[in-house]
């Protein structure tokens, strides 16, 4: 039997504090997602907005991917206490006639189901942590959206399958929250590094109409903010300033333009440095204790039983 391409919905474990250097993106995303949930009456009748997070346009290049798009989508779900369903565009493409379109519909159905019946979001610990904030909505995240929704008529598939997939996606976006006794909301967030490949109809109002660019960090200051966020849970007894110093030193040998993903390698490197330093201290302490012991043994030779 074929397994479903849909992962199950969950409450992600990413907080905004885990993300560095993206304050304005954070505000935009939170406003777009949270305000209509907080003030539903105010937003009644107005067009819904989907968000498109896009990375550096052009060919995927080393150092320019991993700029925090997935992290941001997860953080907004977490902070609003919404179930999160993540799908990579290509995973929905099937080989049978009509399979891809059915998979797109199934993704929205799964998100609606999660909005009605949030998995694990109503547990006591979440309620206490204040994360179970809103109900009746879920976040559906489409990674690599370009592979699911390329420009119609230009895909090179003679059978028009991709055109039908795009039409199905548009239909789902337009019908979201309409009908039913108790309509639930599916908040869509798309991510791509090739926004230029998308069918333009996807970007119309009410669809993916809030476009947010996430690029690599280009200044040391921006890099440092990301590194500080990534290492915030490191046990570093010498304090925040010392952590900053270690991170600055770890950055020295790196080029100035780095993505968040590259920086996580720097953070691990810094962690290793920190660990090595601790190991060295432990070793020094051990050899000091050993030599003290030897000395006291020499003064008071062990004359006990063997
Ligand atoms: P892709 O372009 O490959 O689809 P993406 O933009 O979705 O990637 P993420 O998955 O969000 O990238 O980030 C990859 C990793 O990079 C994260 O797990 C995290 O370790 C690190 N990272 C990226 N951006 C940031 C940031 N702003 N702050 C902290 N960590 C970051």
Q: Decide whether any atom of ligand 1 lies within 6 Å of the 36 Cβ.
A: no
Give the whole-angstrom CA distance, residue 185 versus residue 102.
Answer: 20
- Predicted local distance difference test score (pLDDT) of residue 128: 46
**From 35-44, 116-125, 207-216, the region with the lowest mean pLDDT:** 116-125
To which residue do tokens 């055109």 refer?
163
Q: Whose CA is nearest to atom 28 of ligand 1?
A: 19
Higher pLDDT, 12 or 258: 12
| Residue 8 pLDDT class (50, 70, 90 cuts) | confident
Whether ligand 1 lies within 6 angstroms of the CB of 69 is answered as yes
Of 47-51, 78-82, 257-261, 268-272, which range is least confident? 268-272
Separation of alpha carbons 74 and 68, rounded Å? 10
With a 6 A CB cut-off, is 226 part of the ligand 1 pocket? Answer: yes
pLDDT, residue 284, reads 65
Mutation probe of ligand 1 site: the residue of 15, 213, 261 with most atoms within 8 A of C-beta: 261
Which comes out higher in pLDDT, residue 96 or 25? 25
**Cα of 72 to ligand 1 centre, how many Å?**
9
Distance CA 159, CA 163 (A): 9
How confident is the model over 84-105, as pLDDT tens digits?
A: 999 998 888 887 888 899 999 9
pLDDT at 281: 57
Give percent of the chain with pLDDT exceeding 70: 73
Contacts of 196 (CB under 8 A, 6+ apart): 57
Flag whether the ipTM exceeds 0.95.
Answer: yes
- The answer, as to whether pTM is greater than 0.80, is yes
Q: How far is the CA of 34 from the centre of ligand 1 (A)?
A: 22
Q: Which tokens hold the place of 302?
A: 């062990």
pLDDT of residue 177: 59
pLDDT of residue 152: 80
For residue 302, pLDDT beyond 60: no
Task: Concatenate the DSSP letters of all residues of 230-271 into one string.
Answer: HTTTS--TT-HHHHHHHHHHHHTTS-S-B-HHHHHHHHHHHH
What are the tens digits of pLDDT across the range 112-144? 999 988 776 555 455 445 556 888 899 999 999
Other Cβ atoms within 10 Å of 100 Cβ, number:
19
292 conformational bin, left if phi > 0, alpha if psi -120 to 50, beta if neither: alpha
Ligand 1 test: best mutation among 66, 70, 74, 76, most atoms within 8 Å of CB? 66
* The predicted structure's pLDDT at residue 280: 60
Please state at what angle helix 23-38 crosses helix 69-80, rounded to 10 degrees: 40
Pocket test for ligand 1, best of 65, 71, 263 (most atoms within 8 A of CB): 71
Q: What is the mean pLDDT of residues 246-259?
A: 74
């Amino acid at each position: 039997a074929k397994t479903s391409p849909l992962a199950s919905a969950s409450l992600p474990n990413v907080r905004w504090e885990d993300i560095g250097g993206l304050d304005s993106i954070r505000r935009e995303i939170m406003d777009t997602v949270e305000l209509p949930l907080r003030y539903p009456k105010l937003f009644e009748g107005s067009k819904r907005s989907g968000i498109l997070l896009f990375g550096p346009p052009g060919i995927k290049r080393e150092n320019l991917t991993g700029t925090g798009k997935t992290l941001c989508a997860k953080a907004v779900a977490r902070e609003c206490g919404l179930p999160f369903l993540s799908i990579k565009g290509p995973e929905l493409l099937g080989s049978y006639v009509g399979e891809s379109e059915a998979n797109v519909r199934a993704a929205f159905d799964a998100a609606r189901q999660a909005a009605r019946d949030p998995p694990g979001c109503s547990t006591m610990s979440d309620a206490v942590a204040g994360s179970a904030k809103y109900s009746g909505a879920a976040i559906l995240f489409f990674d690599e959206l370009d592979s699911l929704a390329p420009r119609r008529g230009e895909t090179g598939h003679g059978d028009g399958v991709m055109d039908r997939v795009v039409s199905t996606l548009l239909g789902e976006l337009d019908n979201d929250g309409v009908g039913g006794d108790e309509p639930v909301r599916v908040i869509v967030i798309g991510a791509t590094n090739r926004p230029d490949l998308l069918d333009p109809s996807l970007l119309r109002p009410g669809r993916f109409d809030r476009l947010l660019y996430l690029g690599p960090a280009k200044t040391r200051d921006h890099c440092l903010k990301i590194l500080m966020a990534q290492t915030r849970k490191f046990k570093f007894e010498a304090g925040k300033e010392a952590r900053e110093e270690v991170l600055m030193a770890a950055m020295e040998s790196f080029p100035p333009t780095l993505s968040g993903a590259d920086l996580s390698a720097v953070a691990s490197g810094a962690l290793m440095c920190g660990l090595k330093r601790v190991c060295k201290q432990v070793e020094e302490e051990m050899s000091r204790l050993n030599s003290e012991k030897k000395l006291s043994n020499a003064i008071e030779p062990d004359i006990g039983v063997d």
